[in-house]
Structure 1
């Protein structure tokens, strides 16, 4: 079955380096959940608007892209450094031996939770296991994990990193999301050592070796059962690696999906029903696999150019990389604010990735951005959270949101470029049939001088110095 895109010519505005991991079309196969608890959780999540993504694993010690250098098909953009191995097999061995030196002694999740909460983030999605198969939690299914005696950090009281992160962020009021890779390139149940790996997919035919594939299904099920039953309340199960999917769901218009040559049905009904039993109301995000287990869609390093009428989230890096890279170039705070505005004006959430380093902390530049974000959010939060898109959505330098009761409209003014310069007058159109009772500029305490002619509003700039963007808030009669 060939899938259609949500909009026949869906356009994406790329905001970061091209994402080779799982760039994809937004599918038309979205199915609205029917479980009342899931619907309620999804509504709350849509109100939150701004979340924290964290890619972290042993790979941070080499300062390389997460997992992908293990994948033969992607050597072109994840070239292996000679000092890490003279050939592929040496490289894999040395990569896996990073477990034996992983010791992030500066790890302090409360520091992260406090800084990101102040910056306006409301939920966190943490990489409990990426494609390389290294578990950042205390799984019973494998010894390739952070709590193994093979890992120096296992002696630390905070060794179960996932548990510590979940508890710290939950205590700060965050919704908790568990990223989990369905493919696992470490286990012999997925990349069987009888065959060499050729690409990101399983390296044997599951229909020819059903017993081995059944072991992989159970392995995956058991790890997800651990995450959803032993780590407190989990609100989001964020499943990556969409090439592990029923063969019939492949979209031949997507390059990476055309590389899937064999059936990789992992039985999402079994997984999803177990997760919902363990965590009633949990949002399940089976990325790029349309149907009842993709509760919201996830453009990567990109923003749809138009509003979407289904729940969605753009996952975008603060730097250039999802994983820690020394001297990464972090986006200016102005760019981050503009990205947030564009996303919420189109009805989405912004999941911003910050990658911890091998020492267990963020770069100082990330904390600097978060502190600057905090000052802007403190003033403008009333226009960000619990809002929805409203026509005309975006006109020129102006972007719009509304309160859920439609009694308030927020008009964001941004200017592309290195610095934000306010005009002497703000000129924009008001939504149809919206009767203005009151108007204010967030961060300005005085009254405004403004005029209206039909739907066009002209507001005299009160000369209040504002950073990154101006928010004009309109209250209806």
Structure 2
């Protein structure tokens, strides 16, 4: 009978709850057709036709040190790379397949180079691993909801042995948990239909992972997909429960709570444009100010933001992404203390922005100025020790103006005569409460 160890859980989650901001990297053969990471499934491309990308793969500009530096400059604390996506192509030197980067013109173990580069920048190392594998002959083909050959009766499953596939998949997980040093995050993707939980032999899998990587943090997708919370949230954790919930392409309206109403760890994974993998024609990138505010939103609701980049076929992160990372980083250098180690403030969201909290520090994120002094909902004047601009440390007086005399139970901050905020994206004010 499995017994959830809350103490061990809280210990391994401590850095993750403090970090709040990470980089997701979707990259593989699909960068060459440049129509997104699901291209083989969406276009129902046969294996033989997809192999031309394997023969061509040679990312001459691949330099994970540049990726890691970009992440660090953006204020990110951890990175997660797709070691193997659904197409089955491995960026690592697996002994169980020939469908891997070391057998391409590239001829290198790209995961090995990535983990070294990430550690060199002092960031936490994460690897993504797909439970699906459209390349392996024993993974369900015809009739499967996602397989490229799902509608082709020539690919029936009569001679396929799913147990043989599971042995292969477990062996590969063992490889990435053994050959690349300490892993901080292992990001499985994903469960669907009847393929969930013990269909993956998940108890056996996680027992092995925990033996090899006792402190690794694991997502919840052995049980669910981007939708669904998993057994930890349901109050009956399985041996393969996720350490965090993984909403995709959305931010939960109220954070995420378990069945008892207690806040639980979660991480929104979000793309900068509309695809995870490189898509040459997708130029619909979210502006940096929007991404900064979405990071703040996640933290204010008790969650993390895992922001994706999709490097191109040569191994370069798109310029649009680099520009946004730099702009986010500029803001983070001045205001990072309102993100790292912060969480829900426990007070009502103000009209002008959001609030994050770390101990007795309430960080008011001001997106638009108010007419008159700035109201601080949930804060009384007598509770305040000091108010400071986070970016400069400059003092902000507590307002004594008569204009808010009708609101004696609420404190107001005097931001001065200039109606234009110092930071037009997010001016962060640190309201320090008396201990």
TM (normalized to structure 2)?
Answer: 0.84
Change (3 A) 1:432 1:364: same
Partner in structure 2 of residue 199 of structure 1: 145
The alpha-carbon deviation at position 60 of structure 1 amounts to 0.6
Alignment partners' CA distance in 2, 1:178 and 1:310: 22
* Residue pair 1:244, 1:266 contacting (<8 A) in 2 also: no
Alignment partners' CA distance in 2, 1:186 and 1:211: 13
SS at match of 2:268: strand
Asked whether 1:53 is paired with 2:19, we answer no
Alignment of 1:207-226 (within 5 A): 212-226=161-175
Counterpart among 332, 354, 376 of residue 399 in structure 1? 354
SS at match of 2:429: strand
Asked whether 1:341 is paired with 2:296, we answer yes
SS at match of 2:218: strand
Partner in structure 2 of residue 141 of structure 1: 96
Residues 310-362 of structure 1 show CA distances to partners (whole Å, capped at 9, x for unaligned) of 10000001122111112522211100111001110000000000110011011
Partner in structure 2 of residue 266 of structure 1: 200
* Residue pair 2:220, 2:246 contacting (<8 A) in 1 also: no
* Residue pair 1:120, 1:377 contacting (<8 A) in 2 also: yes
Counterpart among 406, 411, 414 of residue 367 in structure 2? 414
Counterpart among 100, 120, 130 of residue 171 in structure 1? 120
The alpha-carbon deviation at position 445 of structure 1 amounts to 4.2
Asked whether 1:456 is paired with 2:406, we answer no
- Unaligned stretches of 5+ in structure 2? 225-229, 232-237, 257-262, 401-406
Partner in structure 1 of residue 318 of structure 2: 363
Asked whether 1:100 is paired with 2:55, we answer yes
Partner in structure 2 of residue 320 of structure 1: 274
TM (normalized to structure 1)?
Answer: 0.77
Task: Report how many residues are paired.
Answer: 397
SS at match of 1:322: coil
The alpha-carbon deviation at position 128 of structure 1 amounts to 0.7
Structure 1's consecutive aligned runs of 4 or more residues displaced over 6 angstroms after TM superposition are: 201-204, 208-211
SS at match of 1:400: strand
What do you get for the CA RMSD once the two structures are aligned?
2.6
Partner in structure 1 of residue 106 of structure 2: 153
Partner in structure 1 of residue 286 of structure 2: 331
Alignment partners' CA distance in 1, 2:371 and 2:423: 12
Counterpart among 30, 34, 44 of residue 63 in structure 1? 34
Partner in structure 2 of residue 436 of structure 1: 384
The alpha-carbon deviation at position 460 of structure 1 amounts to 2.5
Alignment partners' CA distance in 2, 1:213 and 1:434: 66
Alignment partners' CA distance in 2, 1:38 and 1:349: 17
Change (3 A) 1:450 1:268: same
